[in-house]
Chains A and B, each alone.
Chain A
């Protein structure tokens, strides 16, 4: 194994899922370190300095949320959390605590790798200067000129709509929670007014989507937040 390949730390207590992830990841060009509990995971994270952490929220020894917060105290490493299906609240909490994205069990290899790549790309780009133009599919955002076009047709956005779209674009491919978007659009004092956000997202969709109910760019993650699809 070449040392230049990215290292993924797997904190997961289920051996079956660990095996699936290990095989999938190593065959897709990642190195894998494994931990079966939170305590062990923290130690490995400190010792191995991974490029990305995959964390199961349901660990036997520690609360997953705690692990995220502890990690976030000293590292900005991308964290991908794995959750059971029925816990939107846990997802939001994990994302707000500093996780980068989540995967709901059961998930397929393609989904996993896509999320992994988005997270790694954002981590790499975090230190790089912001590119002035963002493009995905037919959607083009010129940050400097503050112009948005869809299929070369200019779309007129209000300042708040623009701010929301730019925030989503900055994290393209990643899910953003309602709180994170409200913070970006209005400021921290509005972070409980989720319906403002829904109204603006609906308007935004009508402006940039062909079919708002079957969106191409602005995906809804019910109960969690929104994601701008990045078609590389």
Chain B
């Protein structure tokens, strides 16, 4: 036996500890019945915490008019109740938002099992408590044993009173501390009689019903045992954490087989308590057979509730699809090392009792090494089953009419054949008709066809003709066979049809899922992912949907939504926000804000809520809501994963960009210090000499010229920096227009005329050159920078400018006969702050701007060394794509 803690389990525990440290602490004052003094104990504890300096606030305390309790409440800060009006009544409720806003260290919240008034955020108070805990606020609360989900049934059996207010066991088990407030049954009854629990007249009634000694003793035992179980679990955890080396029994695993019956919930609770006692894992299994489609919708919902209960109680819910239930269950059980299987006892009545019994017996017979437990249902549930309304199936008369028509045809055929064949063979003709009806029209019509066939056959073709007298018993056999064939065939045909439909549906589901997965894989960023998810839900399933993503320092954004009618109001956005913060589903079909317009699911991956998927469930539910929800959940899981991938990619990209911009920043700083300081030094020096006024006129002129030149140099540098910044910021909008190339080049040459003074400028721009689609000002700068580059690096060299056009692009070459580009650096010259040599002026921005401009236009630039010596820069720009426009008509009356 491995005595080290299982690493997976340890990791899970560490994670849940981590979550817990951020969460507030939950303490439950747990009791067996009302009146044992839970609220009193809670208030006493709260007062002592307050005296320790803890910020305690009473969120909701029920004093039931008990004086001692009220005295304890005095001096504690209270959160005023929220008053809701519901159907004309004023209902006071705990004000969750006020408590969250107040943000104390500890909130007292009595009666954890309380059901909130309609219109509250959560259906149940324990959900309020959960939200407080998530916000890091501690909660003291009270709870009676009969409100625990897993015990509710046992309590109902003992006391005969069914409790509707229930708290899931997880809420109890997640408590950091449980304090049992214990009182013996006799003491409690005494307190009741003294009027310390209820007002006298109420106490009278209570004594007769709930507070009978038998009940109280049983409840007390349950409370004690529940607390003891908790201690056990804690002990076990301690042992595991500390790897106490004591042999533990091999881990038990329990499988509970569920069906679409109300037994399910009972079975689930039993399985859970057995599992808890054995410290075993447990699995709830439903095997879907071809008869699944025949289950009435109400039962199917029941089944979904049962499966959900499994998960609520900490088990794992599994649905398998197979024809042979027994085999499937056992295969599954073996694959999961299940040691015990729980089944519901077959009902005493009902026509399917037989098959059910066969199933149970088959399971027992085949289950080598696995214990089988068969549990009975409760009287209550049997009643429920009997009273359940059975929805009549909608019947159409059409198939029956068709069946009759087929029989009539058989009769006609038989009539035509009768002179030539034996009556027995005529029966075959009728049989053919019956089989036809059975395969196509279902059971009812095929029975009708059998009856009609035999009747007609007997009446018309069996002597004595035109009477119903069956002279020969063999025709009874004919009838039986026909009926049997009809029933068998119609059943077989129906099953084949169902199988086919199920297969089609399964295929459709798989295809949809595969398509979604593929589309999601293709989505590059979070927005694309959101679009895919919305398209999937709205396109495939007609569910109006939307995806909401949080952006830092910005309101939550509706990134994608399927149609404009999916109007989200502020109140809906509040739900979205809640889901984002809590990472739990809310809205339609949930217990949290069920009045919302849609179901909102958190898009969670790696424990992080990345966004929210909203989908409006259809009002007229053609399909089962659970199936629709299942689909949405499946889509949301896929979307969350894709979203995580996209966000990680974005983060990686951003990190890279940050590193890049960090490098650029340092390059920029060093460049600034050089390129600003050098001309500034000349300017300051020269101008200060001039200001001194002791210079000869020609010296003044010389210095002034230097100030002028250096200033221009600074000016060019600033212009380049500005250009670069604008191009990089991505905010630049190109103002593209068709332009003649020579115009732009001409303007650029004009601007650098002084710098190219005395050089030969060789221009070769064919007249046939098409216009280019460019932002004239930016491309002018591109050429200015290229010309200045020539001026700087190729002194005295002529400038050659050539242009050619081909395939929608105009290629301009600016060449010189200077020293050329440094070997191997032909592409580096376009990098920011690249400088061919330290001696040359310029910040190394000019060519980087050229490249940025060319690329912004969808063009390109490259630098090459000419074979005959010198550098050449080749710029490609897109053609304007439209022929030079025809001259517009001369406006009438225009003067010339």
* A residues in contact (CB < 8 Å) with B: 85-86, 88, 106, 108, 158-160, 162-163, 186-187, 189-190, 193-196, 198-202, 205-206, 211-215, 219-223
Is there an interface contact between B771 and A212, defined as CB atoms closer than 8 Å?
no
**Interchain CB contact (< 8 A) of B738 among A106, A195, A201, A223:** A195
Is there an interface contact between A201 and B743, defined as CB atoms closer than 8 Å?
yes
In the complex, which residues of chain B have a beta carbon less than 8 angstroms from the beta carbon of A194?
737
> Is B515 at the interface (CB under 8 A from chain A)?
no
> Is B98 at the interface (CB under 8 A from chain A)?
no
* B residues in contact (CB < 8 Å) with A: 708, 711-712, 715, 719, 722, 726, 735, 737-747, 749-750, 761, 763, 765, 767, 771, 776-777, 780, 801, 884-885, 887-888, 890-891, 894, 896
Is there an interface contact between A195 and B771, defined as CB atoms closer than 8 Å?
yes
A220 to B783, CA, bound (A): 14
Is there an interface contact between B743 and A198, defined as CB atoms closer than 8 Å?
yes
In the complex, which residues of chain A have a beta carbon less than 8 angstroms from the beta carbon of B741?
213
Is there an interface contact between B761 and A214, defined as CB atoms closer than 8 Å?
yes
Given contacts A187-B894, A199-B740, 18 further A-B contacts (CB under 8 A): A85-B719, A86-B722, A88-B777, A186-B890, A190-B888, A193-B888, A195-B885, A198-B743, A199-B771, A199-B885, A211-B763, A213-B741, A213-B745, A214-B749, A214-B763, A219-B750, A220-B744, A220-B746
Chosen A-B contacts, 6 in total, with CB atoms closer than 8 Å, are A159-B896, A186-B890, A195-B771, A205-B743, A215-B750, A223-B776
A126 to B16, CA, bound (A): 88
A220 to B740, CA, bound (A): 11
A44 CB to nearest B CB, Å: 30
In the complex, which residues of chain B have a beta carbon less than 8 angstroms from the beta carbon of A199?
740, 771, 884-885
A135 to B378, CA, bound (A): 115
B703 CB to nearest A CB, Å: 16
A49 CB to nearest B CB, Å: 34
Answer whether A222 and B888 are a contact pair too, CB < 8 Å, given A159-B896, A198-B739.
Answer: no
Is there an interface contact between A206 and B763, defined as CB atoms closer than 8 Å?
no
**Interchain CB contact (< 8 A) of B742 among A160, A190, A212:** A212
Q: Which residue of A lies closest to B803 (CB)?
A: A213
Q: Which residue of B lies closest to A223 (CB)?
A: B777
Is there an interface contact between A163 and B747, defined as CB atoms closer than 8 Å?
no
In the complex, which residues of chain A have a beta carbon less than 8 angstroms from the beta carbon of B890?
159-160, 186
**Interchain CB contact (< 8 A) of B746 among A106, A108, A186, A215:** A215
Q: Which residue of B lies closest to A221 (CB)?
A: B747
Is there an interface contact between B763 and A198, defined as CB atoms closer than 8 Å?
no
A83 to B896, CA, bound (A): 35
In the complex, which residues of chain A have a beta carbon less than 8 angstroms from the beta carbon of B884?
199
Is there an interface contact between A202 and B896, defined as CB atoms closer than 8 Å?
no
In the complex, which residues of chain A have a beta carbon less than 8 angstroms from the beta carbon of B726?
86
Is there an interface contact between A222 and B747, defined as CB atoms closer than 8 Å?
yes
Q: Which residue of B lies closest to A187 (CB)?
A: B891
Is there an interface contact between B891 and A186, defined as CB atoms closer than 8 Å?
yes
Is there an interface contact between A196 and B885, defined as CB atoms closer than 8 Å?
yes
Is there an interface contact between A220 and B888, defined as CB atoms closer than 8 Å?
no
Is there an interface contact between B894 and A222, defined as CB atoms closer than 8 Å?
no
B880 CB to nearest A CB, Å: 8
Is there an interface contact between A196 and B715, defined as CB atoms closer than 8 Å?
no
In the complex, which residues of chain B have a beta carbon less than 8 angstroms from the beta carbon of A106?
711-712, 715
A223 to B736, CA, bound (A): 11
Answer whether A222 and B744 are a contact pair too, CB < 8 Å, given A211-B763, A212-B765.
Answer: yes
Q: Which residue of B lies closest to A205 (CB)?
A: B742
Q: Which residue of B lies closest to A159 (CB)?
A: B896
B785 CB to nearest A CB, Å: 14
Q: Which 5 residue pairs across A and B have the least CB separation, nearest first?
A: A213-B742, A187-B891, A220-B747, A202-B740, A223-B777
Is there an interface contact between B771 and A222, defined as CB atoms closer than 8 Å?
no
